[in-house]
Amino acid sequence: MMRKQIISLLLSLGSVAVVHADTLQLAKDAPDRYVVVKGDTLWDISGRFLKQPWRWPEIWQMNKAEIKNPHWIYPGDVILLEKCDGKPCLRLLKNQKASSGTAKLSPKARIEQLNGMAIPSIPAAAIDPFLDKPLLMTEAEYQSAPRVGAGPDNRVIFGEGDMIYAVDMPTAQQGEVFQLFLKRNTVLDPDNKEKKIGVETHYLGDAVVTKEGEVTVLRVSRSVREIPPGARLVKAPEKPFVNYVPHLPLQPIDSKVLASYGGERYVGSLSTVVLNRGENDGIDLGTVLFAYKPGKLIKKESKDEADRLTPPLRNGSVFVYRVFPTISYGLVMDSTDAVTYGDVVKGEPTTAE
């Protein structure tokens, strides 16, 4: 059974405003009242009220704790645009039927039901494949991971329903689910081409342990690509239930695009990109950064003329939804041109672009 989880949009009304150096700008024709409907995302709703959707916490007057742990918002809830101390602010009127439910459920079942009803912060379908897969690993992690050794016959490709034998799985237990993946390429740091960031991988499918031992027996339960001997395995984590709202970074961030997904060198809106900065650099879930096309070299009229570049051009925003210590994954939003390897992605607490 396919388990659908969306990333919840959660909002909370707070008392401490996020400070910006510039005036909050409302979107043209911002409504005084908006009823949330199924299919909405927080980013879409933000754009209805604000010229800069990433400043959502400011119009709600949210503090840091509330940004990290907001309340859920559901179809049927009403958002009102009002004035608070002379400044625009929003107020939420809850749809009691949607948020309270009518059936008597266990606490766990109720949470799962509410999670499914709450609207996502960004399109769930665009990021769902990247939430719990080993997309980028260090070379050492990849080489030391358990691997597929063979099948019961002489085949060199396996798929859904096939039995496979794996080695180096001493702690595997019957019934456990493992993800299968294979090296795609080596990712180099755009700032230093001699520095290897890690190994980019292809997710191949899932397999369930049917027998423990020095050689572990598994049955492939899902296959999205052909599975060869040598494919690596990692224990499948639970898909994270993430709640966040778009916000600017708390400190200046200057990163570059390491890779993009979907098999394309050049990608646009609703595509995932990997950045060479992460939690250690001040990025957290929901951080919004801005992509730029590099400046072009101005043609010289003499060899003595200094090199000069045109200013970099803003090319959409990047909404971070998965963070690791040194890298992060973000969804490209509202791009005007293609985003590619090496493009600059940056942001500051007072950015008002």
Give the 3-state secondary structure of residue 99.
Answer: helix
pLDDT in tens, the chain (353 residues): 333 443 343 443 333 334 444 688 999 999 999 999 998 999 999 999 999 999 999 998 888 777 777 778 899 999 999 999 888 999 999 886 554 544 443 444 333 444 457 888 888 888 877 776 767 788 899 999 999 999 998 889 999 999 999 999 999 999 999 999 999 888 888 888 888 888 888 899 999 999 999 999 999 999 999 999 999 999 987 766 556 889 999 999 999 998 887 667 899 999 999 999 999 999 999 999 999 998 889 998 888 889 999 999 999 999 999 998 888 999 999 898 999 988 999 999 865 45
Return the CATH number of 253-347, one of 3.20.20.80, 2.40.10.410, 2.60.40.420, 3.40.30.10.
2.40.10.410
Q: Are 191 and 254 in contact (CB under 8 A)?
A: no
* CB within 8 Å of 64: residues ≥ 6 apart: 250
Backbone angles phi, psi at 32, to 5 degrees: -80, -25
User: What does the DSSP assignment read for 223-246?
Assistant: ESS-B-TT-EEEEPPPPP--B---
Q: Specify the pTM.
A: 0.75
Return the CATH number of 136-235, one of 1.10.10, 2.60.40, 2.40.10, 1.20.990.
2.40.10
The rounded distance, in Å, linking the Cα atoms of 330 and 320 is 4
Length of the chain equals 353
Domain with CATH 2.40.10.410 in the chain: 253-347
